[in-house]
Structure 1
């Protein structure tokens, strides 16, 4: 299924099921949010989130000759500047921030393949193809291994012994688990993007298991590491 959506390029990918808080202050994205808010109440307010491969999230300012349009910061070919896969986001709420901007929360709902980008309007729009969720072979067997590895990873980050932390409940759904781990594991954008682009849940879980084991091995070699709180902060980018 293909669709045309407003597009939010960000520095890291969004995953299905995860909440995305945004502080919207650039005029191109204010226009996007105004258009979303103007839709009829019974119409889904959706946009596409895609990570930037080469470029800047915020438009450059104060430099003569730099672009200031909808593709500012992404060069002459925004399609080439963006990764080829993203996530559809469904708006939960939009609040005026008092300075002409907005605060907005949205939730990732489905992955897509990016087919084309249009920079002719006030903001970027894109033609996208939604991707079906496939379990793949071995997802049920991999899920408990990833859960154990992720527990160990969290405890090593917190600098705590395993027996000193209360047990944490994790979902039994392998696909939901794969996206939770992808979103909350601390990794560079390219690594997270690979997880988003995995062909199915089993492939994503297998990649996560390798990533978590590698990260735990690195952490254990460090003399000390400050506790890390795995919370999601509002992205002040657009």
Structure 2
């Protein structure tokens, strides 16, 4: 069964349970947000496959995340700052342009959560904390996460949000049907990213050390 959902195509991937600020300045999206507020409805955030966020039409990927509006701040220039929270995933079955904004006929795309390997989950958590530490050391990018969620699905979406990989990889994570497969993919991505960050960190340390001491450096 399909339902109508207003769509907001963006050059970003939005994950369930995550929070995101949005600046609403185009008239068509002001209309959309007013509609959602008036009817207490979510809208869908989808990654742009081709086209642009501003101006002309954008072709989105098929799978996106419903967004619940938590807060709206009206600005003096008549734009809006909003905070949204990711709800669940959907898959677009049909697109319509009957409104100023894009509308999709969508179906739910529930996550299959059975069969999660607890050992895999633990490895992902450990690798993710290590990744965040190396990310700060190598690139100066600080992502503060005091505690990961207690459930496997929450961990998976938090890791997906925190991974600084390209949009195709992020969309790939959002599109996987099974939680186990998401965690497996995240473990592989984390392993790869940690190796890259270790090499960057090692190079930075080498540049700061006297040549005579470089032979002692190793991550093994």
Q: Compute the TM-score of the two structures, normalised by the length of structure 1.
A: 0.78
Q: Could you list the runs of 4 or more consecutive aligned residues of structure 1 that deviate by over 6 angstroms after TM superposition?
A: none
Alignment RMSD: 1.9
Deviation per CA, 1:54-98, whole angstroms, max 9, x where unpaired? Answer: 121122xxxxxxxxxxxx142xxxxxx211100011111222112
SS for the counterpart of 1:4 is strand
Which of the pair is proportionally richer in helix? 2
Measured in 2, the distance between the counterparts of 1:167 and 1:13 equals 19
Matched, 1:153 2:149: no
From 40, 48, 61, give the equivalent of 1:52.
48
Matched, 1:224 2:204: yes
Match of 1:121 in 2: 99
- For the 8 Å contact 1:14–1:108, the answer to whether it is kept is yes
SS for the counterpart of 1:12 is coil
Deviation per CA, 1:124-180, whole angstroms, max 9, x where unpaired? Answer: 1111111222114334231111001101101111118xxxxx994322311110000
Deviation at 1:103, TM superposition (A): 1.0
> Which sections of structure 2, spanning at least 5 residues, go unmatched?
139-143, 206-220
- For the 8 Å contact 2:148–2:158, the answer to whether it is kept is no
Q: Cα 1:91–1:167, aligned 2, differ >3 Å: closer, same or farther?
A: closer
- For the 8 Å contact 1:118–1:124, the answer to whether it is kept is yes
- For the 8 Å contact 1:139–1:174, the answer to whether it is kept is no
Q: Counterparts in 2 of 1:84-103, with a 5 A limit?
A: 84-103=62-81
Match of 1:10 in 2: 10
Q: Which has the higher contact order (CA 8 A, sep 6+)?
A: 1
SS for the counterpart of 2:51 is coil
Deviation per CA, 1:95-123, whole angstroms, max 9, x where unpaired? Answer: 21121211111111100111111112211
Match of 1:22 in 2: 22
Q: Compute the TM-score of the two structures, normalised by the length of structure 2.
A: 0.84
SS for the counterpart of 2:85 is strand
Deviation per CA, 1:11-43, whole angstroms, max 9, x where unpaired? Answer: 11111100121110011111111222323xxxx
Measured in 2, the distance between the counterparts of 1:218 and 1:6 equals 39
| Equivalenced residues, count | 198
Measured in 2, the distance between the counterparts of 1:17 and 1:167 equals 14
